[in-house]
Structure 1
């Protein structure tokens, strides 16, 4: 397919679902581009919610101890699912894949497995881990100092198998922290609606997995990284590290970079701009 004509497939990040791309999808399809948003393994219609969040009377202790119903979901499953979704949309032809946040880790795995199916890999303020490095290793790096996601997690991921938010909390400060982490420049009414759609448990196995990258696999796929200057989930310095590390590993295929002055969720705060960017790629 020629540039700018391959189908667009959108992958969300942790706790989100295909719903977060609705405004972007409306704009790219309205312009005549074939596009689809999918749910990542353990999310959206594939999510399973812990009983502790809805059991009454509420027991705070179980919030931190109940093993997640998505604890068995790992990067292998997520990568295989994404490859199948790409095949379904592309019908054996290449697809431009746009991934947000932790969805980038899954895109990296899928592009390494089936590089011939990915016309262009677009990382929208996403994890773009180096070879054999799990995404979780980046969370506490100095480049990510000040992020607000880890402080919002309400259980030990190694104990319950997931990164859990207390989405039923009536703590105004906690809910504001979630807004600040993900939706800092999003209209308050929209951000509240988005929080209501989040999945409480994100499978830890996706972030714990790693992918060995090769020059004829992921390293051969054209890639663009869209930075977000006001991101409080993946800090700007970490975004730059992803780009620098990828270019050092695969200098013959450098990363194209587009900059946005946005929070972690430009698909909600500036969907038109995101649509314009991705429509020109792939």
Structure 2
């Protein structure tokens, strides 16, 4: 039986980042879609007005417009903040939610505290209230691309677009997601060296915030969609089937 995937990108990315994973999922007999969040890729929404709610609404609307059911909803990195909201909004259409080396919020708290974050202050001062990835600095970029071949790194970093601030500083309601009882999974990228505040590794720092998630481990850095799309697709495929 074919599985149905909806894939949500993270900060600075767009639906384009999932192309190789979609190709691999289709080879496994599944259907897969990727969505451009507002202000990303081909979605030309005004970045100064983008919110986390608009991220959630855009994905939920996509699922409903295409009348998708039994959806395995997967989010990469910052996409983890969107997928919990989508699942809570349209739970009857969602079969499983998968965090792909992704952020998991604490209920009622933002990922970035706008009162103390220099990044938030810098983004607030910009006309679009957003920023390019270069602002994150060399340590972040090196961690993000630690296992990329030079040509892949050059392509990915050149393709990334600005990220709006509002989704980063919005309080995240996780309780409505947990109330749905939808199964949770986490794909652990074992070589993810992308710096995060408060812990050395994305797993178990973020994955431990889920309730009894099933785990899949991939020997990859943060940008698994580019460096290990075959393994990423296989992990998604197996999680969808409860393997």
**TM-score, L = length of structure 2:** 0.84
Describe the shift of the 1:277–1:71 C-alpha distance in structure 2 as closer, same or farther (beyond 3 A): same
Deviation at 1:239, TM superposition (A): 3.3
Tell whether the 8 Å contact from 1:93 to 1:117 is kept in structure 2 after alignment. Answer: yes
User: Where does residue 167 of structure 2 map in the other structure?
Assistant: 206
| Aligned counterpart for 1:72 among listed residues 49, 70, 86 | 49
Q: Residues 117-136 of structure 1: matches in 2 within 5 Å?
A: 117-136=93-112
User: Which residue of the other structure, out of 41, 52, 70, is the alignment partner of 1:94?
Assistant: 70
Matched, 1:262 2:228: no
CA RMSD of aligned residues (A): 2.8
Q: How does 1:162-241 map to 2 (within 5 A)?
A: 162-165=129-132, 179-199=141-161, 201-214=162-175, 219-233=180-194, 235=196, 237-241=201-205
Aligned twin of 2:28? 31
The Cα of 1:185 is off from its aligned counterpart by 0.7
CA distance in 2, matches of 1:190, 1:154: 29
Question: 1:130 Cα deviation (Å)?
Answer: 2.1
Asked if the contact 2:6–2:73 (Cα under 8 Å) also holds between the matched residues in 1, the reply is: yes
How many angstroms does 1:108 deviate by? 1.2
Partner of 2:209: 245
1:215 deviates by: 6.2
d(CA) in 1 for partners of 2:181, 2:158: 39
CA 1:221–1:118 in structure 2 vs 1: closer, same or farther (change >3 Å)?
A: same
Aligned mates of 2:205, 2:94 — CA distance in 1: 23
Q: In the superposition, relative to structure 1, how do residues 154 and 78 fare at CA in structure 2: closer, same or farther (>3 Å)?
A: closer
Matches within 5 A, 1:43-62: 43-47=40-44
Give the superposition deviation at 1:38.
1.3
**Separation of aligned partners in 2, 1:277 and 1:159:** 41
Report the CA distance between 1:6 and its aligned residue: 3.0
- Distance verdict in 2 for CA 1:5–1:124, change over 3 Å: same
Q: Tell me, which stretches of 5 or more residues in structure 2 are unaligned?
A: none
| C-alpha distance after superposition, 1:23-51 (max 9, x if no partner) | 11111112221111111121111247xxx
Distance 1:114 1:273 in 2: 29
| TM-score, with structure 1 as normaliser | 0.74
Q: Deviations over 1:60-112 (max 9, x none)?
A: xxxxxxxxx512100111111111122234x1522101110111101111112
Structure 1 position 231, deviation (Å):
2.0
Q: Which runs of 5 or more structure 1 residues have no equivalent in the other structure?
A: 49-68, 141-149, 248-253
The SS at the match of 1:97 is: strand
Distance in 1 (alpha carbons) for counterparts of 2:60 and 2:88? 10
Partner of 1:113: 89
Q: Deviations over 1:110-166 (max 9, x none)?
A: 11212222111110111111211212249x9xxxxxxxxx99x69702222644127
Pairwise CA distance, 1:238: 4.1
Higher Cα Rg, which structure: 1
Q: Secondary structure at the match of 1:37?
A: strand
